[in-house]
Amino acid sequence: SLLDQKHTPKNTTGRKAFAVLLDPDNLDEKGCLDLIQRCNTHAVDYILVGGSLVTQTNQTALIRLIKKNTAIPVILFPSSTLHIDVQADGILFLSLISGRNPEFLIGQHVIAAPLLKASKLKVIPTGYMLVDSGRQTTASYMSGTTPLPYDKPAIAASTALAGELLGLQVIYLDAGSGAQYPITPEMIAAVRQSINIPLIVGGGINNVQKAAAALAAGADIIVVGNHIENDPIFIGKIAQLVREYNNEIAL
């Protein structure tokens, strides 16, 4: 589990997981409640909360609503220290290792560290890698970083390996929300082979085929955000895909 401290190499060949990303900017209470209920029905593994640019002031209320209506772990996916919320269960403590902007490699972390230590949040040290997806994403613009070229799996593999060797416990390969193209299976496979820690993959997964390709290439956890906002039924479809995948592994 992401909330379990013992990330061993074994985790990576084990069970696949499905995380739903809820972006406070794109959700009202009613829409959020509907999505939470679907997450419950389909036993989604994690609910991530965050976005690259939060313009609304509803994140606190939204997390309160989520926590009230589900037992699924709620994990913050913050774009800055402003989005730390102690109501959540955990936080992806993201170091943007695809970029060369010290603010997102270590700067925000120094500001956040005392707050995190004083909180009960489970801190998950995460190597966050933005990958070019055909058009500039909010995440790449807001972070002032150049994303990894989508067709350079070797750079991605070395970057992820450096992250692991630095002690990061999870790698998150992200094409960015609403990405035109998801991360290629070639890149996912190259990263998977280079590391022993769990691999999260997200960005632009808007059909079952893309999700299946990411899982087959070696993603341990797939994240879907954008598409479920327009098509909530998609939660059930991806949950079923992940379940089938896990049943096969168990056989």
- Binding residues vs ligand 1GP (CB under 6 A): 21, 174, 176-179, 202-205, 223-227
Nearer to ligand 1GP, 191 or 223 (CB): 223
Residue 144's nearest CA partner among 84, 176, 106, 96 is: 96
In whole angstroms, the minimum distance from the beta carbon of 118 to ligand 1GP comes to 27
What does the block give as tokens for 229? 């906002």
The gap from C-alpha 29 to its chain's centroid, in whole angstroms, comes to 22
Smaller CB separation from ligand 1GP, 153 or 182: 182
Distance CA 147, CA 126 (A): 17
Amino acid present at 250: A
Q: Which residue is nearest to ligand 1GP (CB)?
A: 202
| Listed residue (131, 135, 68) closest to 99, CA to CA | 131
**Cβ 114 to ligand 1GP shortest distance, Å:** 27
Cβ proximity to ligand 1GP: between 24 and 204 the closer is 204
CB of residue 227 to ligand 1GP, shortest distance in Å: 6
Per-residue three-class SS string for 14-49? CCCEEEEEECHHHCCHHHHHHHHHHHHHCCCCEEEE
Length of the chain as a residue count = 251
The nearest distance, CB 223 to ligand 1GP, in angstroms, is 4
Return the number of the residue (147 or 225) whose C-beta is nearest ligand 1GP. 225
Question: Which residue, 73 or 114, is less far from ligand 1GP as judged by CB?
Answer: 73
Task: Report, in Å, the least distance between residue 195 CB and ligand 1GP.
Answer: 18
